[in-house]
Amino acid sequence: MPDFALPPQYDPSSVEKRLYGRWLDAGIFTAHVDSPKKPYVIVIPPPNVTAVLHMGHGLNDTLQDALIRFERMRGREALWLPGTDHAGIATQNVVEKLLAQEGKTRFDLGRDAFVQRVAAFVSETGTTILEQLKTIGCSCDWSRTRYTLSPELSRAVREVFVRLWEEGLIYRGHRVIHWCPRCLTALSDEEAEFQETNGHLYYIHYRLADGSGQVTVATTRPETLFGDTAIVVNPEDPRGAPYVGKKASLPLTGIEIPILADESVDKEFGTGFVKVTPAHDANDFEVGMRHGLAMPLIMTEDGRMGDVGKREAGSGKRVPPELEGVDRFEARKKVVKMLEAAGQLAKVESHQHAVRRCYRCDSIVEPRLSDQWFVKMKPLAEPALDAFRTGEVRFVPERWETTYTQWLEGIRDWNISRQLWWGHRIPVFTCTACQHQWADRVDPTACPKCGGPVTQDPDVLDTWFSSWLWPFSTLGWPDDTPDLRHFYPGHTLVTAPEIIFFWVARMIMVGIHVMKRAPFGTVYLHGTVRDTKHRKMSKSLGNGIDPLDVVRLYGADALRWTAVAGVSLGSDLILDNEDLEATFAPGRNFANKLWNIGRFILSQLPDQVPAIASVDRSTLTLADRWILSRCQTTIEAATRANEQYRLDEAAKLCYEFVWGDLADWYVETVKPRLAAVPAAYAVLGYCFDMALRLLHPVVPFITEELWQKLPGRKAGELLAAAAWPAPSPAMRDAAADTAFGRVQELITAIRSIRAEYRIAPKTKLGAVLTSRDPKDYEAESDTICRLAGLEAFSVGAAPNGVGAHAVLRDGGDVFVGLGGSIDVTQECKRLTTDRDRLDKQLAGLSAKLANESFVARAPAEVVAREREKEQAWRAQVAALNDKLKALGCA
RNA sequence: GGGCGAAUAGCUCAGCUGGUUCAGAGCGCCUGCCUUACACGCAGGAAGUCGGGGGUUCGAAUCCCUCUUCGCCCACCA
**Closest-CA residue to A662 (of A570, A568, A616, A594):** A594
Q: Note the CA–C1' distance, A837 to B45, in angstroms.
A: 17
Output the pLDDT for position A821: 59
The CA distance from A166 to A437, in Å, is 12
Q: Which of A294-303, A312-321, A407-416, A809-818 has the lowest mean pLDDT?
A: A312-321
Q: Which residues make Cβ contacts (< 8 Å) with residue A867, sequence separation at least 6? A: A849
Asked if residue A861 keeps its beta carbon closer than 7 A to nucleic acid strand B, the reply is no
pLDDT reported for residue A845: 84
Angle between helices A55-73 and A647-655 (to 10 degrees): 70
ipTM of the complex: 0.95
Report the pLDDT value the prediction gives residue A577, as an integer from 0 to 100.
85
Highest-confidence segment of A5-9, A436-440, A535-539, A765-769: A436-440
Q: Rounded to 5, what percent of chain A is helix, strand, coil? A: 45, 15, 35
Contact flag, residue A600 CB and nucleic strand B, below 7 A: yes
CA distance A463 to A211: 53
For A672-730, give the DSSP string.
GGTTT-HHHHHHHHHHHHHHHHHHTTTSHHHHHHHHHHSTTPPTT--GGGSPPPPP-GG
pLDDT over 90 (residue A860): no
A237 in contact with nucleic chain B (CB within 7 A) = no
- As a rounded value in angstroms, the CA-to-C1' distance for A567 and B14 is 9
Strand-pairing partners, residue A260, are: A232
The A 244-273 residues near strand B by Cβ under 7 Å are 264-273
pLDDT of residue A313: 47
B33 nearest neighbour residue (CA to C1'):
A761
Max Cα-Cα span within chain A: 117
Question: A633-674, pLDDT tens digit by residue?
Answer: 999 999 999 999 999 999 999 999 999 999 999 999 999 888
Judge whether residue A713 contacts strand B, using its CB and a 7 Å cut-off.
no
A613-635: average pLDDT: 92
CA A112/CA A809 separation, integer angstroms: 82
> Looking at A506-510, A790-794, A836-840, which range is the least confident one?
A836-840
Q: Phi/psi at A743 (nearest 5 deg)?
A: -60, -45
- Identify residue A338 by its one-letter amino acid code: M
Among all strands, which nt has the closest C1' to A497 (CA)? B73
Q: What is the mean pLDDT of residues A46-61?
A: 91
How many Å does it take to go from CA A566 to C1' B36? 35
Mean per-residue pLDDT, A84-91? 92
Which residue is nearest to the C1' sugar atom of B40, using CA? A589
Report the pLDDT value the prediction gives residue A820, as an integer from 0 to 100.
63
Give Cα A224 to chain centroid, integer Å. 42
CB A754 within 8 A of CB A746: no
Q: In chain A, which residues from 823 to 842 place their CB closer than 7 Å to nucleic acid strand B?
A: 841
- A458, HSE (Cβ side, Cα atoms, 13 Å): 8
Closest-approach nucleotide to residue A407, Cα vs C1': B74
| Residues 665-704 (A) near nucleic chain B, CB < 7 A | 667-668, 671
Neighbours of A310 (CB within 10 A): 9
How, if at all, do strands A230-233 and A273-276 pair? antiparallel
Q: How far apart are CA A373 and CA A676, in angstroms?
A: 80
Smallest CA-to-CA distance from A588 within A617, A631, A627, A556 is with A556
| First-to-final CA distance of chain A | 52
Distance set, CA A459 to CA A49, A155, A522, A536 (Å): 21, 17, 35, 33
Strands ordered across the beta sheet of A765-770: A790-795, A765-770, A813-817, A803-807
pLDDT at A823: 76
Report the distance separating Cα A679 and Cα A666, nearest Å.
Answer: 13
Q: What is the mean pLDDT of residues A604-626?
A: 88
* pLDDT tier at A1, thresholds 50, 70, 90: very low
Q: How far is the CA of A585 from the C1' of B40 (A)?
A: 7
A621 strand B contact, CB < 7 Å: no
Pairing assessment for the beta strands A428-431 and A437-439 based on DSSP bridges: antiparallel
Q: How far is the CA of A482 from the C1' of B63 (A)?
A: 51
**CA–CA distance, A877 with A871 (Å, rounded to integer):** 10
Query: Nearest nucleotide (C1') to the CA of residue A601?
Result: B37
Q: What are phi and psi of A338, to 5 degrees?
A: -65, -40
Contacts of A855 (CB under 8 A, 6+ apart): A849, A863
Report, as an integer, the average pLDDT of A560-576: 87
Distance A817 CA to B30 C1' (A): 27
Per-residue CB contacts under 7 A with strand B, chain A residues 203-222:
217-221
Alpha-carbon separation of residue A820 from A12, A510, A752 (angstroms):
52, 84, 19
| C-alpha triplet A60, A558, A705: angle, nearest 5° | 110
- Give the residue ranges of DSSP H helices in A344-477: 378-389, 400-409, 464-467, 470-473
Mean per-residue pLDDT, A599-606? 88
Strand B-contacting residues in A 730-759, CB cut-off 7 angstroms: 748, 751-752, 754-756, 758
Nucleotides of B under 7 A from a protein CB: 3-6, 11-16, 19-21, 25-28, 31-33, 35-45, 57-59, 70-78
Q: State how far the Cα of A89 lies from the Cα of A421, in Å rounded to an integer.
A: 9
| Percent of all residues in chain A with a pLDDT value above 90, rounded to a whole number | 63
A611, exposed or middle or buried, with CB in 10 Å at 0-12, 13-18, 19+? exposed
From CA A698, how far away is CA A703, in angstroms rounded?
9
Residues 353-392 (A) near nucleic chain B, CB < 7 A: 353-354
Task: Please give the full DSSP string across A754-771, using - where no structure is assigned.
Answer: HHHTT--TT--EEEEEE-
Beta bridge partners of A349: A201
Distance of CA A260 to the CA centre of its chain: 51
CA-CA-CA-CA torsion sign (A379, A384, A385, A386): positive
pLDDT of residue A2: 40
| Residue A607: pLDDT band with limits 50, 70, 90 | confident
**Three-state secondary structure call for residue A515:** helix
**A102 confidence band (pLDDT: 50, 70, 90):** very high
Query: Which tens digit of pLDDT belongs to each residue from A401-449?
Result: 889 998 999 899 999 999 999 999 999 999 999 999 999 999 999 999 9
Q: C-alpha angle A396/A401/A403, rounded to 5°?
A: 120
pLDDT of residue A171: 95
pLDDT score, position A566: 83
Yes or no: say if A226 and A297 are a contact pair by the CB < 8 Å rule. no
Determine the nucleotide nearest to A10 by Cα–C1' distance: B40
Q: Which nucleotide is nearest to A597 (CA to C1')?
A: B37
Cβ < 7 Å from strand B, A residues 388-417: 399, 402-403, 406-407, 410
Q: Å between A107 CA and B2 C1'?
A: 45
pLDDT of residue A309: 62
Q: Average pLDDT in the A44-66 region?
A: 93
Give the three-class secondary structure for A163: helix
Give A269's DSSP letter: S
**Average pLDDT estimate for A610-633:** 92
φ, ψ at A484 (rounded to 5°): -65, -45
- Closest C1' nucleotide to A265's CA: B77
3-state secondary structure of A527: coil
Nucleotide minimizing C1' to CA distance for residue A600: B37
Whole-number distance in Å between A574 CA and B22 C1': 26
Residue in A343, A367, A362 with CA at minimum distance from that of residue A278 = A367
* A:283-312 Cβ neighbours of strand B under 7 Å: 283
Instruction: Sort residue A550 into left (φ over 0), alpha (ψ -120 to 50) or beta.
Output: alpha
**What is the CA A190 to C1' B12 distance in angstroms?**
33
Q: How far apart are CA A866 and CA A862, in angstroms?
A: 6
Instruction: Give the C-alpha distances (Å, rounded to integers) separating A372 from A157, A164, A175, A229, A302.
Output: 18, 16, 8, 23, 18
Residue A523 CA distance to nucleotide B5 C1' (Å): 18
From the CA of A844, how many Å to the C1' of B48? 21
Beta carbon of A599 within 7 Å of strand B? yes
Strands A146-147, A83-84: pairing kind: parallel
CA distance A509 to A563: 31
Predicted pLDDT of residue A775: 84
CA-CA-CA-CA torsion sign (A103, A105, A110, A112):
positive
Distance from C-alpha of A462 to C-alpha of A459, rounded to nearest angstrom: 10
- CA–C1' gap, A684 and B33, in angstroms: 27
Q: Which nucleotide is nearest to A232 (CA to C1')?
A: B78
Does at least one atom of strand B sit less than 7 Å from the CB of A1? yes
Point out the nucleotide closest to A2 (alpha carbon to C1′): B36
Strand B closer than 7 Å to the CB of A196? yes
Least confident of A269-273, A309-313, A492-496, A718-722: A309-313
Least confidently predicted of A26-35, A36-45, A824-833 = A824-833
Q: Is the pLDDT of residue A851 over 70?
A: yes
A8 touches strand B (CB under 7 A): yes
Mean pLDDT of A838-863: 85
Q: With 90 as the cut, is the pLDDT of residue A22 above it?
A: yes
Q: Report the distance separating Cα A243 and Cα A258, nearest Å.
A: 10
Residue A265 CA distance to nucleotide B45 C1' (Å): 69
Question: A462 CA to B74 C1', in Å?
Answer: 22
pLDDT of residue A3: 43
Residues 485-504 of A with CB under 7 A from strand B: 497-498, 501
Residues 623-662 of A with CB under 7 A from strand B: 648-649, 652, 659
Judged against a pLDDT cut of 50, whether residue A468 lies above it is answered with yes
Residues 101-120 of A with CB under 7 A from strand B: none
Task: Give A533 CA → B9 C1' in Å.
Answer: 20
Nearest DNA or RNA nucleotide to A859 (CA to C1'): B19
Mean pLDDT estimate for chain A: 90
* Residue A662 · residue A597 · CB < 8 Å: yes
The gap between A661 CA and B14 C1' (Å) is 19
Compute the average pLDDT of residues A157-176: 96
Which nucleotide lies at the shortest CA–C1' distance from A590?
B40
Cβ–Cβ < 8 Å for A558, A591? yes
Q: Residues A743, A746, A752, CA angle at the centre, nearest 5°?
A: 140
What is residue A33's DSSP assignment? T
In order, the DSSP letters of A186-234 are EE-TTTEEEEEEEEEEEEEEEEETTSS-EEEEEES-GGGGGG--EEEE-
